[in-house]
Amino acid sequence: MSPLSTREGTGRVGLPLAPARILRLSTSNTTGKDTVAMETMLGRRSQQPHAADSRWLYNFLARVPIFANLPATEIVSVASKMRERVFRKGEVIFHKGDAGQVMYIIRSGQVRIFMVTEEEQEVSVAILSAGDFFGEFALLDDKPRSASAICMERTLALTLHRDDFLAHLREHPDLAIGIMSLLTARLRQANEQIENLTFLDVYGRVAKKLLDLAETHGVRTPTGIAINLRLTQRDLASLVGTTRESVNRVLSAYQNRGVIELEHQHVTILKPTELRKRIY
């Protein structure tokens, strides 16, 4: 099996939800009064010609961390303000420095968040897929974008405008708890990235990133943990702050030792314990 290709790849698509499960989840955490209110709101929303399927949308948003702890009626209220957009593979959603007024939640597809150094080298901050969200800082500080976002494949995204978000926050302050948790998680991730770049060599950084991706996008298989993303060597290099050539060398070494398996821009971790040894 060959190392990851250097061609641009595509990522996983969104995970469809069975209708029966949508109905069950959409009412399982509500009181009778909330359920009636929610069904009424869903009924109204379903009449809007450009609205996404309301029941699916509720179930989907209930799994997004920033909304997960909200009562059902509040989630439906937020959903009523959202619109869906479609982006082509390779399309830039926004550039660093652009005015930011909208948050995006990926319904299907794959998006790379990145910055460009003074040497014009791209450094990826994250690769996101279905259920992930980005651009949320624009909802809070009304400042220019702090990074750029580009689609790695055709992507469907739900959007929430800053004015709608703030109006909802004033009426439902419980949403602030989700925001604080989000900001804390983002800060921890940033600190961890700095620590990795400072203390780990390239073998350790690649090992750490593969384990992180396995945790967020991993699927267990008979042979190991498959990372459910398509990654080029260039993508992985930009995530760990090194060159494509260095990533090629590291991946080949790990594959030759039977630690990972590489096929068609996919990585399967066969021996996670061996990767952890490179970190600790």
| Domains contained in the chain, CATH given | 19-191 (2.60.120.10), 200-277 (1.10.10.10)
Strand order in the sheet with 148-151: 92-94, 148-151, 110-116, 122-129
Most confident of 99-113, 129-143, 173-187: 99-113
Reported in sequence order, the residue ranges of the chain that DSSP labels E, i.e. its strands, are: 83-87, 92-94, 102-108, 110-116, 122-129, 133-134, 148-151, 155-161, 218-220, 225-227, 260-263, 266-269
Residues 32 and 60: their CA atoms lie apart, in Å, by 21
82: amino acid identity, one letter: M
> What's the pLDDT at 175?
78
Positive or negative, the CA dihedral 135, 57, 51, 177 is negative
Residues 230 and 242: their CA atoms lie apart, in Å, by 19
pLDDT tens by residue, 148-195? 999 999 999 999 999 998 888 888 777 777 778 777 887 887 788 788
* 126 φ, ψ (degrees, to nearest 5): -165, 155
> What's the pLDDT at 59?
85
Residue 123 contacts residue 238 (beta carbons within 8 Å):
yes
pLDDT of 54 > 90? The answer is: no
Q: 187: burial class by Cβ within 10 Å (0-12, 13-18, 19+)?
A: exposed
pLDDT tens by residue, 35-48? 444 444 444 444 44
pLDDT of 262 > 60? The answer is: yes
* 86 φ, ψ (degrees, to nearest 5): -120, 130
SS3 182: helix
Instruction: Of 196, 265, 269, 272, give the one whose Cα is nearest residue 233.
Output: 265
The CB density around residue 37, as the number of other CB atoms within 10 Å, is 17
Mean pLDDT for all residues in the chain: 79
| The pair of three-digit structure tokens given for residue 82, joined into one six-digit string | 């959202």
DSSP tag of 51: P
Residues 56 and 61: their CA atoms lie apart, in Å, by 9
